Structure 1
Amino acid sequence: MSAFEYVFTFYSLVLGLAAANVVTGFADMWRERSRIAVGICVPLVALSLLVGIMNAWVTYWQNGASVEMGPSRMIGSALIALPYVFASKVMFPAPGEAASLEDHYFAHRRVLLLALAAPPLVGRVFAWMATGQFVQPGLEALYFNARIAIPLLLLLAPGKLINRIGLGVLLFVLITGLFR
């Protein structure tokens, strides 16, 4: 087993757990839709998490040739993947905990938005440590800056409409990022 395969197995398992949590959350949301108001923000966060997980997985796969096994690689992989697992559990309320998913989002939005910004930021820091370059210039820089900046800017915007628009823009950025 190569260093890439060894690290990628761990990384994939953690990201897969986060994706499974999101899908389970969607199923719970569907089952409880007559009792709990769904809203827009939580589904946008959930879709952003799923597409963010895909982006993380694809980026890791594309950089596979340069992967070396070691403590810093394992720590970096965990710091990139674990915020997805955390957010995938926090974004949905426990059964009977909330009457509205929108209310739940706004009660926990700071931690959710930080969890959305953390993986690309950590990934860029570890890439910078390995290559000396924080991000490639051009569209790549715009993409990663948007992935970090949008959730951080939403921390300053308490309104529902701004959060809905911002999360929609983040989802758009993430989807287009899959094809970069």
Structure 2
Amino acid sequence: MSAFEFVFTFYSLMLGLAAANVGTGFADMWRDRRAIQVGVCAPLLAAIVLVATMNLWLRFWRSWEGVEVGPWALITLVAYALPLVFLSRAMFPGAGSTTSLEDHFFQHRRVMLAALAATPGFSLIWYAAQGTLMPDWPNAWLAIRFFAPLALMALTGRTANRLGLALILVWMLVGLFR
């Protein structure tokens, strides 16, 4: 097994866990749709997490030549994936909760938006530490991914948050094809 295959297996497991949590959350939303109001924010956030996992997976796939096995490689990958695993669980209230998914988002939105900003934030820190933080398209894409959730923290309105999450999702989809 190559170093890339070894590390990629671990990383894929973490990203797959985030995607599986979102899939389970969607199934729970559908199952409980008559008892709990779904709203807009939770499905948008779930879609963002799915697209973010795809973005991370593709970005890592493109970097396979330079992958080395070691503690810093694993710490870095955990820093990238763990916020998405956390978010994939935290965005849905626990079983038996009667809180609407929209209300749950607004009760915990700052933590969720911080988790959403964490992965691109870690990437920006990593690139700055490597001296490769340049004013180019990939870094601009990351900067917007980092600052957009932080900007949403300042907006308390439901419409503004729904629109902001929708724009982040569109931005994430654009990044998927970059």
Q: What is the TM-score normalised by the length of structure 2? A: 0.96
1-side partners of 2:105 and 2:91: how far apart?
7
Q: Check conservation: 1:36, 1:98, Cα contact below 8 A.
A: yes
2 CA distance for matches of 1:53 and 1:128?
A: 22
C-alpha distance after superposition, 1:5-58 (max 9, x if no partner) = 111110000000110000000000000000000100000000000000000100
C-alpha separation between the residues in 2 aligned to 1:165 and 1:154? 10
Q: How many Å apart are 1:4 and its aligned residue?
A: 1.2
Whole-angstrom distance in 2 between the partners of 1:7 and 1:128: 23
2:125 equivalent in structure 1: 125
Q: In the aligned structure 1, how far is the partner of 2:171 from the partner of 2:98?
A: 30
Q: In structure 1, what residue type is equivalent to 2:132?
A: Q
- Residue of structure 1 equivalent to 2:41: 41
RMSD of the alignment, in Å?
Answer: 1.1
Quote the offset at 1:63 in angstroms. 1.0
In the TM superposition, 1:69-108 aligns within 5 A as 69-108=69-108
Cα deviation per residue 1:76-114 (whole Å; 9 max; x = unaligned)?
000100111111110001122233111000011111101
Q: How many correspondences in the alignment?
A: 178
- Match runs of 1:28-177 below 5 Å: 28-129=28-129, 131-134=130-133, 136-177=134-175
Gaps of 5+ in 2: none
Q: Is the 8 A contact 1:80 1:122 kept in 2?
A: yes
8 A Cα contact 1:19 1:53, kept in partner: yes
Distance 1:169 1:34 in 2: 28
CA distance in 1, matches of 2:138, 2:99: 40
Q: Report percent identity of matched pairs.
A: 50
Q: What is the TM-score when the length of structure 1 is the normalising length? A: 0.95
Using the TM superposition, give the Cα deviation of residue 71 of structure 1 relative to its aligned residue in structure 2, in angstroms: 1.1
Deviations 1:114-172 (A, max 9, x none): 1111111112322333x3112x4332232111110110111111110110010000000
Give me the whole-angstrom Cα distance separating, in 1, the residues matched to 2:25 and 2:111. Answer: 18
Q: Could you say what secondary structure the match of 1:155 adopts?
A: helix
In the alignment, structure 1 segments of 5+ residues that lack a partner are none
Deviates more, 1:66-75 or 1:95-104: 95-104
